[in-house]
A = this chain, B = another copy of it.
Amino acid sequence: MAERHIPPPLRFLLAARRSELHGLESLAVTCELAVHLSALVHALQKERGYSNLTLCSAQGRLPQEGHEQTLAALVQDAVRVEAEVRRFLDGLAAAPQASDKARLLNCIAYALFRLDELPGLRRQVRDVSLPADEADARYTQIISSLLAVVFEAADSALDPAVTRTLVALLNFMQGKELSGQERAAGVIGLTKGYFTEPQKARMLGLAAHQARSFDVYAQYAQDDALQCWDRILQQGQPVERMRDMAQRTSSEQRVDGALAELWFDLYTARIDAMREVESLLAQALARQCEHRIAETRQELADRQLLLARYADHASGRAPSMVFSVQSRPVDTPPADGVGSVLERSILELMREQTLRMQRTDDALNSVRGALEERKRIDRAKRLLINRYGLTEQAAHERLQRAAMDGGLSLADVARQVIDQLGSD
């Protein structure tokens, strides 16, 4: 199949298809990365939970119950998963870098930087040399740097179906992470026996933000993952009841500190069950990438064959076999002479490819809309940081407080901030 015999327009038609294929192959790698990261996030969430319990126990606020052994096993798990992620990333760093991957690579750099803090953090937890809430915040920062990589993966994906699943995965991971934070916040409050008003507000905020994430997830996920999530939701009453109870506590109305462990176990079972949804989404991603790559490869092969025959035809070797390899639009009966049919067929091929690309683009834009909310919140934070010299954490809290005070969503508050400060 000598491609240099193919006329230039058709050569570029093939080059466009090949470029799409490259994009899909690189997307498959990005999806694999997202799946690896979801495993690491899960391991770190478990480790964070037990670190929290261990610190609370060691600081005498909960009975000692062998959390250390469990934690040691979980740390081992997390170290193993992290090693897998790092091996995968080594391969990625060695590969030549496409020009549209700069933001993803930058996010990976930041996540790796954060991951390097793990050994020190673990040492401090083992030595019980930092408060539970500080350990919690540092684990949370590491996890959020990993989620940021998944966000970039979804935002830079060029296939609508795969992007849908990545958006579903990202939102599910976000919801699950907020669940982890709610678990920690609950343990801290219940250990003390009651929640202060700001703690209650934080619990409510976490629950609302979770619900929002899972709603977006449900909008973009496939059947099997949705059914799995429905089963988890149906078993959610105990957690709901304890949430309500937490809201009714006060320094006058305390509950038994031992409820902290019940809450922790209930919530841990729930979060562990969520991991199955992530596995289903990971399978869907692999399936979709594989399918799209196989499809595009086949089309490219068909087209190369078609165009090679066209070249043969043009050089007078095989006059009438040109269109026998493809069925659909090019298969028009030769009515007004081969030349003109040929020309119309090629035009048809180009139109078809252009239309497909435009449809892809429209679909991509509409799926990516789901990522706009987070981008808007990030942008508002950046504006607050620049204008008032806040830290990231303080900027986030200011947005959250404004949302709670005004009965608005974070995204709405972010829009107001951008409208006010957006000229920066």
A residues at B contact (CB < 8 Å): 7-13, 15-20, 22-24, 26, 86, 89-90, 93, 97-103, 105-106, 108-110, 112-113, 116, 158, 346-347, 350, 353-355, 357-358, 361-362, 378-379, 382
Contacts and interface: CB of A to CB of B under 8 A. Distances in A.
Given A106-B350, A106-B357, A347-B113, A97 B9 contact: no
A24 B100 CA distance: 10
Copies of this chain in the oligomer: 2
A16 B105 contact: yes
Contacts of A26: 99
A354 B106 contact: yes
B357 A103 contact: yes
A110 B158 CA distance: 22
A12 B106 contact: yes
A379 B116 CA distance: 48
A98 B97 CA distance: 10
Nearest to A148: B354
A113 to B, nearest CB: 4
B106 A16 contact: yes
A9 B98 contact: no
A198 B92 CA distance: 61
B99 A100 contact: yes
A413 to B, nearest CB: 19
A376 to B, nearest CB: 12
A12 B346 contact: no
Contacts of A113: 9, 346-347, 350
Nearest to A353: B106
A424 to B, nearest CB: 10
Contact of A98 (B7, B8, B24, B98): B98
